[in-house]
Amino acid sequence: MNDAQKSLPRKFLSFILNIGADPRDSEYIRLIKRIWYVAAVISLPTSLYRAVSEYLIGEAFGAAGFLFSFFLFLVVLVDGARFPGHFERNSFYVLLYFLLAPVLLTFAAGGVWRSQGVILIGLLGPLFALLFPRRRRAFYLFGAYAALVLIVGVFWPFPFERSSAPLGLNPFQFWSGFLILLGFIFGGMYFFVVQREKAYVLLGLEKEKTEALLRRIEADLKEAAEIQKRLLPAGTPRFEDFDIAGANIPCYEVGGDYYDFVPIDADRLGIVIADVSGKGMSAALLMASLRAALLAEVHPGFDIAGMAGRLNDFVHRSTDSKSFITFFFGALDRRTGEFRYVNAGHNPPFVVRRSGELSALDTSGFALGMFPGVGFDPGSVRLDAGDTAVLFTDGIPEARNGEGEEYSEERFRELVRARRGLASAGLCRAVLEDAHAFAATGQPCDDITLVIIKR
C-alpha cells in the first residue's frame, strides 16, 4: 500500500470528524458534534442492512422503518455538513424519532411482549438529549416517553397481547415500577451531566484565570528582559589602544549572567563578568543587586581586593546558602596594558598572545556569597600589542549537542587561537556562531556571555 492509499482512511476520518464544524463552537459542542455525526455515519450501513433483512423475512413495516432511518441519518449528515447552524434543530428531530419509532414498532408487532421490548430503545431519546446545552428538551422527551409507555403497556391493550404476557402480571404495577426505575436512571444521568457541566464551567474559569496569569507573567518577563537588557552595556566602550566587545545571550527571557564596562578614571577601565547560580527571575534579581553594589564600590581610589571582599559579604547577607555568584573583575590600564584582576570562583579567563601562546588567569578565591569574611588575592597580567584576553561564562564550554557532547574549553580556546587576527566584534561573533551551530540539535542549557579584549 503506497502513501496515497494509506492517507485515504485518514482523510475520510478527518472529513467525518469535521462535519458541521463551526469556528464559533465551544470545545464541548465540537465534541458533541463529532460523537453525533460519527454515530450517524455508523448508523447508515446498519440501518440499510436491517431494512434489507426485514424485507427478506417479510416484515414490510420493519423494513420501511429502518429504510426511513437510513434516509433520516443521510439527510442529517448532508444538512449538517452544509449548514452547521442546523445541528441542534436536526438533532432534536432525530431524538424525537428515537422516541417515536420504537412505539410504532411496538404497535406494528402487536404489543410490548410481541415486540420483544423494543420500546426500551425509546429511552435513548431523552438520555441523548441530556448531552445538549438545552436540557429542558430532555425532560419534555422523558415525559413524552413515560406517557407513551403507559399508553402502550397499560391503557392500550393489543390483540393477543394477553396471551403473550407473563402469567400473573399486573400491567399497571409492572409499568409504573418500570417507569420509576427509568426515572431513577434518567435522574441519575441528569445529576452526573449537571455535575459534569459545573465541573466544565469551573474548569473553564480556572483556564481563563490561568491564561490571564500566564499572559501577565509573559508581560512581566518581557518587561524584565527589557530592564535587564538596559542594565547591560549598550555598546562597546571607547578605550584608547584597545578593541573591546561583549555579548550576552540568556537561556530564558531573563538570565543570571552579567558583564559590564565600568570607567574607573581617565586611564583605567573596569571589566566585569559574573554568573549567578540558577536561572530565570531569581538569578536576574540577584544579578541586578550585584551590579548596584559593584557600581557603588568602584571609584578612582578603590582597592580591588577590598571591593571583592565587601561584595562577597553583601551577597552572603542577601541570599540563602544555596545561592552564590562566580565573579571576575579586572582593571585595565591603557597606559601600561596591565590588567589587574580578582577571580572569585569564575571560569578562568585566558589570554592568547600574538604568537598563539595561551595562558589562563587563575582563581583567587571562593565564589561570592559562599562564606562570609573571606579574602581574595589579586592577580595581574600584561597585555601587549596583538594580545587577546577572553572572558566568558560556562554556557559556552558546557553547551551540548543532541548526543550530549560538550562544546568544551579545548575547542573554544583553539577557535580563539585560530581566529585571533579578527577584530574583537568579529571574534566574538565567530565564537557564538560556532557554539550555536554545535548545540543546534540540543536543548539550551545555560546563559552565554562573552567579552573579548584586544590590544
Q: What is the DSSP letter of 151?
A: I
Closest of 301, 319, 408, 313 to residue 365, by C-alpha: 313
| Rounded distance between C-alpha atoms, residue 242 and residue 229, angstroms | 24
> Could you list the pLDDT tens digit for every one of the 455 residues in the chain?
555 555 777 777 787 778 878 888 877 788 878 888 888 888 888 888 888 988 888 878 778 878 888 898 888 888 888 888 888 888 888 888 888 888 877 777 777 766 666 777 788 788 888 877 777 888 888 888 888 887 877 666 655 555 555 555 555 656 666 677 677 677 767 777 777 777 877 888 888 898 888 888 888 778 777 777 777 888 888 899 999 999 988 877 777 789 999 999 999 999 999 998 877 777 788 888 899 999 999 999 999 999 999 999 999 998 877 789 999 999 999 999 999 999 999 999 999 999 999 999 988 889 999 999 999 999 999 999 999 999 999 989 988 888 888 999 999 999 999 999 999 999 999 999 999 888 876 555 678 899 999 99
Write phi, then psi, for 236 (nearest 5 degrees).
-85, 140
Determine the Cα angle at 290 with ends 289 and 293, to 5°.
Answer: 90
Q: Which domains does the chain have, with CATH numbers?
A: 3-208 (no CATH), 233-454 (3.60.40.10)
The distance of Cα 258 from the centroid of its chain, to the nearest Å, equals 29
Element (H, E) at 156: none
| Rounded distance between C-alpha atoms, residue 125 and residue 102, angstroms | 11
* CA distances to 12, 212, 300, 301, 402 from 444, in Å: 41, 27, 40, 41, 11
| Rounded distance between C-alpha atoms, residue 156 and residue 423, angstroms | 102
Phi-psi region of 356 (alpha: psi -120 to 50; beta: other; left: phi over 0): left
The distance of Cα 229 from the centroid of its chain, to the nearest Å, equals 26
Write phi, then psi, for 190 (nearest 5 degrees).
-65, -45
* CA atoms 210, 216, 218, 220: torsion sign: negative
* CA distances to 91, 280, 361, 453 from 270, in Å: 77, 26, 16, 12
Instruction: For the chain, state the CA radius of gyration.
Output: 40
What's the per-residue H, E or C state across 195-212? Answer: HHHHHHHHHHHHHHHHHH
pTM above 0.85, yes or no: no
